[in-house]
Structures are given as structure tokens and as C-alpha cells.
Structure 1
Amino acid sequence: MKQDNRQAQLILCLFGTIPVIWLGLLIAPAVSGGLPEIITVFPTAINNPFHIVFCEDSLKTVLIALCAYGMGIGVYLSTRRNYRRGEEHGSAKWGNARAVDKKYRDKRPEQNKLFTQNVRMGLDGRKHRRNLNTVVVGGSGAGKSFNLAKPNLMQANTSFTVLDPKGELVRDTGYLLEQKGYEVRVLDLLNMEKSFCYNPFVYLRDDNDVQRLVTNLFKSTTPKGSQSNDPFWDTAASMLLLALVFYLKYEAPEDEQNFPMVMEMLRAAEVREDDDCYQSPLDELFERLEMKNPDHIAVKYYKDYHSGSAKTLKSIQITLAARLEKFNLSSLAALTAADELDLPSLGEKKVALFALIPDNDTSFNFLVSILYTQIFQQLFWLADHKYGGSLP
């Protein structure tokens, strides 16, 4: 568009040379008499515009007129800039709620994200070119749930994943969402016996997913602010856990691919400090796997873990057992033994997933951390490999 404007200006300037040449030829006979003669002759020349007399000063007069015209055009173009008078120190100002709402809202009321009573934004970011990510900061009782979370849940215009301390949101909106065609699923860490089951092993597509799961588990079970003086034990424990998870993923039937079975295998890893040659049931299991497939990834990690002395191996096992100790609880073992959440469906149909956590106990927050990580991984994979980069 800017290039087209420049071409139009150039054409107009070239056409402007025609009247300049004409004017130079009209006044050329009077040039020898100086400015008084030009002023005297000019009215007569204008009254007879086509009475052109060529003389020895004609060429000189036309060239001078064209030079003056060119200088004038140059000055004019050099001053045509986008000046914003009075805005030298910026033009930012407080927005008007009505103007912001009019600019960003969708004409269909149900296809909006609600920010306030008067401001909303359409869900189609390609129309308004704004990010829908929102950070809401407020203390306890500030109205985050009542004024923002609940109204947007009741819009029922997308799938939802909701972190719900105390279960207030699912209690107040769950029935409404079901009536609007949603599948409501609940990971209930308040009453695990009533919860949908969640098994992270179901969502392990490849070796990278296994690595992410173990890394996330160790990171989310590390107390906030703590720093280990010797990371060797955590690193070695993660190698043992990787060996166990890889074994279950590739060698065990589907109903045994879960954390309760990891705990069973860990308990079978007996170490006798007075007998370095002793083989536990777990050692025999991996020995048979090595005979069948020496390059198996589970064997590689197990051999890396098993390269220490019996005393070192015992310490590594204790470190890992401490990380996984909550899976000894029958309630958590039952919750993670199978899977009912079907995370990929969040990107394909109307699903509301609520994660209920105690607001006064962080013991099981690591499971929610794993859940959120796997939700993102599943939806990214689904968008990239099935829907061409964007979920329906």
C-alpha cells in the first residue's frame, strides 16, 4: 500500500511539469526586462494562454522554472511525515470498558471469555489477535471463584481442567455442565474412594514420556526450598525408577503397568549387605530380560543402578522408596491402578475435569502436577499429529 502511494505521488509530480513548462514559455519574452517587465506582461500572457513566442530566453526560463518546481517538490515530500502533535511523551490512556468490550467481544454471547461484568473477549484469538491466557491475583475471599471461575464455567463453551480446592466448583457447576452435554470427571484427592482413577502409565507413548514422568515425579516430590548437598542419591534413585518403569511399559501386561506394581518390584529388590553375590527376585527378572534382549533400555538403566556395592544399592532403594512412599496407601494405589480420565478427549469433545485437593494438605499435590504435565503433552501431541496444529 505504501509503495502504491509513492508511485501515485511520482506520477502527479511528473504531470505537474507540464504547466511549469507552459508558464516558463509564456513569461520568457519578458525575462530580459527583469521582474518589473515580468509583472507587467504576466496578466496579458494569462489572458492569452496559447500565445507562446519562442525567443533566446525560452530554454533558460523553462529550465529555471523546472529547477524551482523540483526544489519545491523536494521540500514538500521531505516534510510529509507522520507527525503526532502533542503526543511527544506518549499517547497511552486508560481504556474505556465499553470500548474494550466492543473491540474484543464475540457477537455470540456464549463464545466469550468473561473478565468483568462489562468486559469480555471472544474465544477466537485469530479475530482479535490477543492471548486468552489470564492471571488473576487475589487473596482468600477476594471472589476469584465466584466472580471469575464460576461465570466462565457456566459459559460452557470449551473443555475445562479445574483445580478445585475443597470441591466447591464441581459441587456448584457440575450438574449444570452435565445438563449442557459435558462429561464431568473428578480426580478427588479428598475422598480417593470416590475418585475417578488416574494411571499416568497409560499416557506414556515413547521413551521421552517415561523420562518426563520420572523427572516430574522427583521434582514435584522435592520439598519447596530444599537443596540436596549430594544429588547422587536422587540421580541413582531416578535410574532405578526408570529401569522399573521401562520394564513395565515394554514387558508387562497393561493391567500391571502402574505405580502399585512399581512398588511391588521395589519390594522385591532385596539387598544383603553381607553378600554382594546375592541375587534378589528383581535381579533375576532383569537377568532374564538381559538374556533375551541385552540392549533393552530397562536393562541399561538397571545395570547403571546396579554398578555400586550392596550398601550403596540399599541406600538408593531407600531413597526411591521415600519418594514413592505414598503409593503404599491402599487408597492411592487403587486410584492409580487403572485410568478413567481419558485425557486426549479434552481436546475432542466437551469434558470438564476437576482436580480436588485439600487446601490444608499438600501431600498429594505431586499427582496433580503429573496430571497437568500429561494433559499438556497429550493435547500438544493431539493437535500436532491429528488436527494439523490446532484442536477442534
Structure 2
Amino acid sequence: MPSVDWKRLLIRNLPYGIVFYLVDKVAWLYRYCIGGSLIEKLGVLFLNFSLAFQNVFPSFHPQDLCIGVIGAGLVKLAVYLKGKNAKKYRQGVEYGSARWGNQKDIAPFIDPVFENNILLTQTERLTMNSRPKLPKYARNKNVIVIGGSGSGKTRFYVKPNLMQMTPNVSYVVTDPKGTILVECGKLLQRGSPKMKDGKPERDKNGKIVYEPYRIKVLNTINFKKSMHYNPFMYIRSEKDILKLVNTIIANTKGEGEKSSEDFWVSATRSQAVKSLRTSNGFPLFGELIVR
């Protein structure tokens, strides 16, 4: 059986208790009013209305109690019927209730530790914690920033969030202009201060200890400035060779109309013709792969 919220029940029925008290006191005064008719008694009641409250306690006469209960019941019935039949009007919001958020609205979504947030604006942030104390404040962490060229997408969103250097967080950044690595690389190379109990750790010389990021760069414009990937480093047996060859063939196969063109068959045929024409003993393309 669900527990009763007595506090809420008392607050909801307090107005009806006040109505019962007032009607009970009026009924008590009416019984003592002298008059030949109802109108005369009501006149005497209004003239001496203050006498009803000289004694703060309600009347316990059965007749007064019954009239008080009936009065409170009628008021409660009227309130119920009005609420049941009332149309759902929202005065002042006929054109919608949307509004700009304020500091109070965003506060539950912000992590107390500044570094553990996604920076949205100068005053608005979003916690990186996917499981906040109150689940209703959990939000998706995907952010889309739309703006024209030169509107500040990199300057006012990407760079500030990179400079957060949130602990235990990795960053994957596309850099079409080639400026982010130049401008933020040294910062990431040094890293963020190593924290302990909310304070930065220091070495024996009193200098702050930093946790540097491992920076990996893939530059498809200038390969001299790019890290490289050597698949032959993973070859340990003949099975590994076959896996590599099959992977290369599968990833160079065309799509759509070009899928019927077998690049490797054409390349082998071309290499064979070239080898026969030159007669220099150059190995066939297929032999290059097998060897």
C-alpha cells in the first residue's frame, strides 16, 4: 500500500477547513439571532458579525457542525466541477511558450569542474559526464556548428575546446586549413597539469608536472609532414601475406559501373605484355606478388 503524503494532503485541504470554520461560526451566530423572519435574522447577523469570533474555538453543536461540513463540501464540489469542465487555456502563450534560456536553466547541465565540460559559449557549458547524478540532465554530446567561411567556427569553438585538454580525453581533429596543428600543437605537446586532490602535482624542484598528448598527424597534402603506415610491419607468415594482398585487392575494386573492371587482372596483363616486349627478364606482376 503506497504511503500517504500527509503534508501535501493537509495543504490541499486547508482551504476547505477554513471554509468549514467560518460557516460553523456563522451558523452558531445565526441560531442566537432574534427576528420574526429570515431577513430580520440576517440583518441582526450582519450587524453583530464580529460576535461570532469572540471565541476562537468552533461551535461543537451538532447543527452547526453539520452546516459547516455541508458548506465546505459544497465549495469543494464547486472547485472540482469547475476544474473538470474548464477548457485548457494557456493565456499569453497562444503563439508558443519557447523562450531564451538563462543561467538558471543551464546550471544543472554544467560540471562543477571547469575542465570537464564542452565549451558552447562564454557562459554556457555541457558536462562530459554521460551519467550525471540526475539522469534527466544527461544529454547527447554531439554538437554541430554551422557558419560561413571566416565566421569563427575554428577560432571560437574548436580551439577553446582543444585548450580545455580534458583529462582522459582524446581529440580527433580535421584541419583543412593546416593551422590548428601549428597553433595548438605545442600546447598539446606540453599537455595539461597532472592533478591530485584538485591541485596540480609538482616535482622535487617545485615545477608543475604535465601529462603530454601523443600527437599523430596524417597529412595527405604534404607526406613529408605526415606520419606513415607500413602494412608490411604486420607480416609474420605467408598467411599474413595473403591477408594483405586480399585486403589491397578488395579496397581497390571499383564501385557501381566500375566494379566490373578488374584492376589487378588488367595490371597483370599489362605487365606481362611489357615484359615480353622488352625481353629483359623482368618478372611478371603476378610473380612479384607471389614472391
**TM-score normalised by L of structure 1:** 0.41
What do residues 128-159 of structure 1 show as CA deviations (whole Å, max 9, x unaligned)?
54433201224554433233211210111242
Q: Any idea what the Cα deviations from partners look like across 1:11-57, whole Å, max 9, x if unmatched?
A: 5534653453343233135598432232244245753767xxx9xxx
Higher relative helix content: 1
In the alignment, which of 13, 37, 42 is matched to residue 10 of structure 1? Answer: 13
Q: Is the CA contact (8 Å cut-off) linking 2:110 and 2:125 kept in structure 1? A: yes
1:92 pairs with 2:92? no
Q: Is the 8 A contact 1:164 1:170 kept in 2?
A: no
Distance 2:243 2:12 in 1: 81
Cα distance 1:62–1:263, how it changes in 2: closer, same or farther (>3 A)?
A: same
Change (3 A) 1:59 1:264: closer
Which moved further from structure 2: 189-198 or 176-185? 189-198
| The one of 128, 134, 146 aligned to 1:137 | 146
Q: Is structure 2 residue 242 aligned with structure 1 residue 264?
A: yes
- CA distance in 2 between counterparts of 1:71 and 1:198 reads 88
Residues 93 and 14 of structure 1: CA distance in aligned 2, closer, same or farther (over 3 Å): closer
| Structural RMSD (CA) | 4.6
Query: What is the SS of the residue equivalent to 1:8?
Result: helix
Query: Partners in 1 of 2:119 and 2:66 — Cα distance?
Result: 69
Instruction: Quote the Cα distance in structure 2 between the aligned partners of 1:141 and 1:321.
Output: 40
Q: What letter is aligned with 1:195?
A: M
| 1:113 aligned counterpart, secondary structure | strand
1:170 aligns with 181
Taking the aligned partners of 2:30 and 2:236, their CA distance within structure 1 comes to 101
CA distance in 2, matches of 1:35, 1:257: 113
Question: What SS does structure 2 have at the residue aligned with 1:132?
Answer: coil
AA matched with 1:163: V
Residue of 250, 259, 272 corresponding to 1:323: 250
Q: Which amino acid aligns with 2:213?
A: E
Distance 1:62 1:35, change over 3 A: farther
CA contact (8 A) 1:24 1:61 kept: yes
Aligned partners of 2:68 and 2:181: how far apart in 1?
Answer: 84
> Could you tell me which amino acid in structure 1 is paired with residue 159 of structure 2?
K
Q: In the alignment, which residue of structure 2 is the partner of 1:233?
A: none
Overall identity of the aligned pairs, in %: 23
1:364-375 map, 5 Å: none
- Deviation at residue 9 of structure 1 after TM alignment: 2.4
Q: CA deviation at 1:176?
A: 0.7
User: Which amino acid in 2 is paired with 1:178?
Assistant: Q
Alignment of 1:172-187 (within 5 A): 172-180=183-191, 181-187=211-217
Q: Secondary structure at the match of 1:25?
A: helix
Cross-structure match for 2:121: 116
Contact conserved, 2:162 with 2:171, CA < 8 A, in 1? Answer: no
Q: Which structure 2 residue ranges, 5 or more long, are not aligned?
A: 192-210, 254-291
1:150-193 alpha-carbon deviations (Å, 9 max, x no partner): 12101112423323245542332222112122322315253389
Q: Which has the larger radius of gyration?
A: 2
CA contact (8 A) 1:100 1:119 kept: no
CA distance 1:38–1:168, shift in 2 (3 Å): same
Q: Tell me whether 1:195 sits opposite 2:227 in the alignment.
A: yes
1:213-234 deviation digits (Å, cap 9, x = unpaired): xxxxxxxxxxxxxxxxxxxxxx
d(CA) in 2 for partners of 1:64, 1:139? 75
Which of 74, 78, 88 is the aligned partner of 2:77? 74
Alpha-carbon deviations, 1:196-241, whole Å to 9, x = none? 6598xxxxxxxxxxxxxxxxxxxxxxxxxxxxxxxxxxxxxxxxxx
* Contact 2:110–2:127, Cα closer than 8 Å, also in 1: yes
1:23 aligns with 2:26: yes
**Residues 142 and 256 of structure 1: CA distance in aligned 2, closer, same or farther (over 3 Å):** same
Instruction: State how many pairs are aligned.
Output: 212
Cα 1:165–1:264 shift into 2, 3 Å? farther
User: CA deviation digits over 1:52-102, x for unaligned, max 9?
Assistant: xx9xxx866764553233212333466679975322332223446x77776
Give the alignment of 1:1-392 within 5 angstroms.
Answer: 4-10=7-13, 13-14=16-17, 16-28=19-31, 30=33, 33-42=36-45, 43-44=47-48, 46-47=50-51, 63-76=66-79, 85-95=91-101, 105=110, 108-124=113-129, 126=132, 129-158=138-167, 159-166=169-176, 167-180=178-191, 181-188=211-218, 190=220, 191=223, 194-195=226-227, 256=235, 262-265=240-243, 322-325=249-252
* Higher RCO structure, 1 or 2 (CA under 8 Å, sep 6+): 1
